[in-house]
């Protein structure tokens, strides 16, 4: 898996370098259309290489998608947190009930369960006569 990831990163790097070398021309990036920026004071333009504009736009789109998904999934995280707290509470309650109800069992059930567990050392019980 690590090898496949390394190959993917290497191919991605080659593609990005190729795009950067093919788009080295300087372009003027304007924040507002036509001459609208002069009404706000200033030129509101910047000259950048085209590949930098492409990479920044791609990174901004990825960041916007990440924030969008994080906000969209917020109710799932909140629900999971509530369910986790409820599970923790119920596990504690079950543990408390097990401790509370671990009192000695009914004598008949204790006698029936004892052969399965084996006899305790130190007890001298008379065994029943064998069936004929």
Six token digits for residue 101: 């109800």
What pLDDT shows up at residue 14? 95
21-77 tens-digit pLDDT: 999 999 998 888 877 767 777 778 899 999 999 999 999 999 999 999 999 999 999
Predicted TM-score (pTM) of this structure:
0.56
The residues spanned by each domain of the chain are 1-112
For 77-112, the pLDDT digits (tens) are 999 999 999 999 999 999 888 877 775 566 777 677
CB 27 within 8 A of CB 50: yes
Question: Under 8 Å CB-to-CB from 112, ≥6 apart: which residues?
Answer: none
What whole-number distance in Å separates Cα of residue 109 and Cα of residue 82? 41
């Amino acid at each position: 898996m690590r090898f496949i990831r390394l190959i993917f990163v290497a191919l991605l790097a080659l593609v990005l370098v190729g795009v950067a070398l093919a788009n080295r021309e300087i372009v003027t990036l304007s924040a507002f259309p036509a001459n609208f920026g002069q009404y706000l004071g200033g030129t509101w333009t910047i000259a950048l290489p085209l590949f930098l504009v492409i990479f920044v736009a791609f990174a901004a789109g990825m960041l916007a998608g990440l924030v969008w998904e994080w906000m969209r999934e917020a109710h799932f995280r909140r629900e999971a947190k509530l369910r986790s707290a409820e599970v923790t509470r119920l596990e504690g309650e079950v543990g408390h009930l097990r401790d509370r109800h671990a009192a000695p069992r009914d004598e008949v059930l204790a006698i029936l369960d004892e052969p399965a567990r084996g006899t305790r050392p130190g007890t001298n019980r008379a065994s029943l006569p064998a069936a004929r």
